[in-house]
Amino acid sequence: MANTILIGMQWGDEGKGKIIDVLTAQADIVVRSQGGNNAGHTVIYRGVKYVLHLIPSGILRRGKVCVIGNGVVVDPIALLAEIDGLRKLGVKIDKNLLISDCAHLVLPYHRMLDEQRELRRGRIGTTKRGIGPAYGDKAARTGLRMSDLMQPIVFSKKLQAKLIENNRILQALGAKPISFREVNESYLAAGENLRPFVANTVVYLHRAIERGKKSCLKVRREHSSISTMAPIRM
């Protein structure tokens, strides 16, 4: 399996989506290894403008499989909206998209924490999409994953515990607490719609190696230390 790795050197503003779109022509699989929906990649393909946030730009080409790897933090609501938007533009999305069952979720309290921190001194100018706080939970090994969302009882139990914890923080910051019922219902509904795409992408990609498939992997500068010998483990 020949792997082409695109590494961004300007912290996300160098137009990787456009380059990946060009490289995709020579690839069977396009893998996104990290990041979230905090920025957009604008691609013009066959005269039509597409703005992508979570889904690799390879989705615009027939015969390519796009993988959202376990290093990506996924907002299920935003991802569904992106899928719906692409379908309205005539983009076919079914078996050509896979989402890692180990990918961490971006939840409403992540976005609110992001926003509250940006209101204070020392703000770093985030997009307030909750990406940083979601990665914080991942590093602390307390985050919820796509696999949790596929198990309604497990997800609801974990979500309730996380909301109790994060609502205390939000209230201390002067923000309103988040409703468990609203988040639980909307995320479980989103999970059911995303279920057909969720898979063990590590197994899928290792099997692709055995079949001699070619992959194209995109990473940002701050993640450029990952192994280029086995990039599919991201």
Active site residues: 13, 41
Cα(195)–Cα(103) distance, rounded to whole angstroms?
13
Strands 48-52 and 41-45: antiparallel
What is the residue whose two structure tokens read 């994060």? 166
Q: Which two tokens stand for residue 125?
A: 């100018």
22 three-class SS: helix
Closest CA to 12 of 208, 198, 216, 223: 223
124 three-class SS: coil
Strands 73-74 and 48-52: unpaired
Helices (H), the chain: 16-23, 76-88, 108-118, 131-139, 146-149, 152-172, 180-194, 201-210
Q: CA triplet 209, 41, 135: central angle to 5 degrees?
A: 70
Closest CA to 69 of 214, 221, 206: 206
